[in-house]
Amino acid sequence: MSKVHTVSTTASDPTVAAAAAQFLSPVVLGLEALTVNGKQAHWHVRGANFIGVHELLDTIVAHAGDFADTAAERIVALGLPIDARLSTVAAKAGTSAVPAGFTQSDELVRAVISDIDAILVDVKAAIDGLDEVDLTSQDVAIEIMRGLEKDRWFLVSHIAA
């Protein structure tokens, strides 16, 4: 008769898991909001730069979703849940700079940059807060910052003189 072994879902220290969730949860929620608001911008962009901005926004939305998934899965891998339901995302994200209707590309680009800047505040807080707590979770935040800063640069390049 074989013996059944139960394996814990995580070998993590509960303090580490709690810290990772504390710092990464706002990042997940901000990125989920960027996914929705970026798609809103994608659908409503107008102007001479339509094709370039329209396609770039699709890429940024895809990246935001991937980054959110990475951060959320880190929290879950440490044994804690993440609440990224629409109502939770809306409560955290507040008001987006992205307008509701058709908008010229330059204005939409500035709005998405503003939304990214708000997320970067939370990402930087995660990097700083996780520095002496959990380097693996910090690495997740660093990778998200690298990607968001690159996406931000691409957007800024569309409106730079």
Q: Can you give the pTM of this predicted structure?
A: 0.91
| CATH match of 14-158 with 1.10.10.10 | no
Tokens, residue 145:
């910052």
How far the first Cα of the chain sits from its last, in Å, is: 75
**Residue 53: C-alpha distances to residues 63, 127, 160 (Å):** 15, 30, 13
Mean pLDDT, the chain, integer: 92
Q: What is the pLDDT of residue 109?
A: 96
CA nearest to 23, candidates 79, 90, 74 = 74
pLDDT of residue 6: 38
- What residue segments make up the domains of the chain, in order of their start? 14-158
DSSP label of 100: S
Under the banding of pLDDT at 50, 70 and 90, the label for residue 3 is low
88 CB-contact burial (10 Å; exposed 0-12 / middle 13-18 / buried 19+): middle
Quick check: 41 pLDDT over 90? yes
**pLDDT per residue over 85-113, tens digit each?**
999 999 988 889 999 999 999 999 999 99
C-beta separation of 18 from 135 below 8 A: no
Q: Which residue has the tokens 């990224």?
A: 84
